[in-house]
């Protein structure tokens, strides 16, 4: 896909690494395959996608890379350990890569949404949602649209000086 895009357009401006999975299993019962699948999808997928577009972005001296992390990657939440580790790894990946490639005009940032009204949150038990809302200063779940608006800003030219940052969008938890 990247080779086709590069051949047809000669540039790739934006990459949003948004592939991710979750799985509710305690560490004591987790199989190595569970850990590997989580890391492969959430971290290795971002690595491979980023590596695929990087030469084009560096050649063009422009690019915006955004990694979808999670509040579970920045705060101590009751969430599966391998999910927390993977989302935290994306933040480390973001910071390290931002420092490495910033001189080429390519920015790398991350976004860490809290619990939203769609997606992964559909699998969060009601009592855990209620607990989250008890800590959320806005008293409600976020929306996919709110996160999408933040994503649109982060990959836009209006965001030309932020690099290596993780923007938390959690309603004030």
In sequence order, what are the beta bridge partners of 167?
111
H or E stretch covering 16: strand 14-17
Identify which of 23-32, 61-70, 113-122 has the greatest average pLDDT.
61-70
Model pLDDT, residue 122: 81
pLDDT of residue 10: 82
Question: Which of the residues 83, 104, 132, 161 is marked catalytic?
Answer: 83
CA dihedral 96, 155, 112, 107 (to 10 degrees): 10
Fold of 2-168: Rossmann fold (3.40.50)
pLDDT of residue 100: 98
> Where do the structural domains in the chain lie, given as residue ranges?
2-168
- Pick the residue with more confidence: 127 or 66? 66
* pLDDT tens for each residue of 35-48: 999 999 999 999 99
Decide if 16 contacts 68 (C-beta within 8 A).
yes
Q: Is 83 a catalytic residue?
A: yes
Q: What is the pTM of this model?
A: 0.94
């Amino acid at each position: 896909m990247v080779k086709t895009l590069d051949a047809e357009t000669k540039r790739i401006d934006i990459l949003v690494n948004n592939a991710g999975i979750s799985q509710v299993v305690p560490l004591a019962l987790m199989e190595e395959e569970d850990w590997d699948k989580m890391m492969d999808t959430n971290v290795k997928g971002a690595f491979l996608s980023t590596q695929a577009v990087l030469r084009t972005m560096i050649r063009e001296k422009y690019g915006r890379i955004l990694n979808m992390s999670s509040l579970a990657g920045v705060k101590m939440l009751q969430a599966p350990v391998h999910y927390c580790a993977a989302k935290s790894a994306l933040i480390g990946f973001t910071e390290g890569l931002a420092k490495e490639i910033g001189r080429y005009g390519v920015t790398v940032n991350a976004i860490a949404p809290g619990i939203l009204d769609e997606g992964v949150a559909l699998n969060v038990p009601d009592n855990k949602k209620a607990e989250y809302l008890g800590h959320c200063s806005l008293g409600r779940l976020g929306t996919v649209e709110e996160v999408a608006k933040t994503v649109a800003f982060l990959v836009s030219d209006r965001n030309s000086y932020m690099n290596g940052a993780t923007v938390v969008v959690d309603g004030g938890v």
